[in-house]
Amino acid sequence: MDRIEKNDLPGLFEALRDVFAAQREALIALDGKVGDSDLGITMNKAFVAAFETVRNNTTDPIGKTLQLAGMAVAKAAPSTMGTLVATGFMRGGKALEGASAWGTAEMGAFWAAFFQGVADRGKAQLGDKTLLDVLSPIAVSLASSSGKGAALAQALEHAAQAARDGLDATKGMMAQHGKAACFQEKTVGLQDAGATVGVLMIETLHAYVVQTRSSM
**SS3 state at 208:** helix
Q: How far is CA 124 from CA 118, 128, 130, in A?
A: 9, 7, 8
Is-above-0.75 flag for pTM?
yes
Mean pLDDT of 101-128: 94
Assess whether pLDDT exceeds 80 at residue 38. Answer: yes
Q: Which residues pair with residue 102 across a beta bridge?
A: 4
- Tell me the HSE value of 53 on the side-chain side, using a 13 A CA sphere: 23
Name the helix (H) or strand (E) containing 204: helix 193-214
Mean pLDDT of 66-84: 96
Mean pLDDT of 133-158: 97
Mean pLDDT of 196-209: 97
Q: For the chain, give every domain's residue range.
A: 6-214
Instruction: State how far the Cα of 124 lies from the Cα of 150, in Å rounded to an integer.
Output: 31
Instruction: State how far the Cα of 138 lies from the Cα of 205, in Å rounded to an integer.
Output: 12
Angle at 206 between CA 197 and CA 95, to 5 degrees: 75
64 near 97, Cβ under 8 Å? yes
Assess whether pLDDT exceeds 70 at residue 35. Answer: no
Average pLDDT, the chain: 91
Mean pLDDT of 127-139: 94
Smallest CA-to-CA distance from 38 within 79, 87, 76, 83 is with 79
Assess whether pLDDT exceeds 90 at residue 145. Answer: yes
**SS3 state at 174:** coil
- Torsion, CA 25, CA 27, CA 32, CA 37, rounded to 10: -80
The answer regarding whether domain 6-214 maps to CATH 1.25.40.340 reads yes
Smallest CA-to-CA distance from 88 within 51, 63, 57, 119 is with 119
Confidence band of 155 (pLDDT split at 50, 70, 90): very high
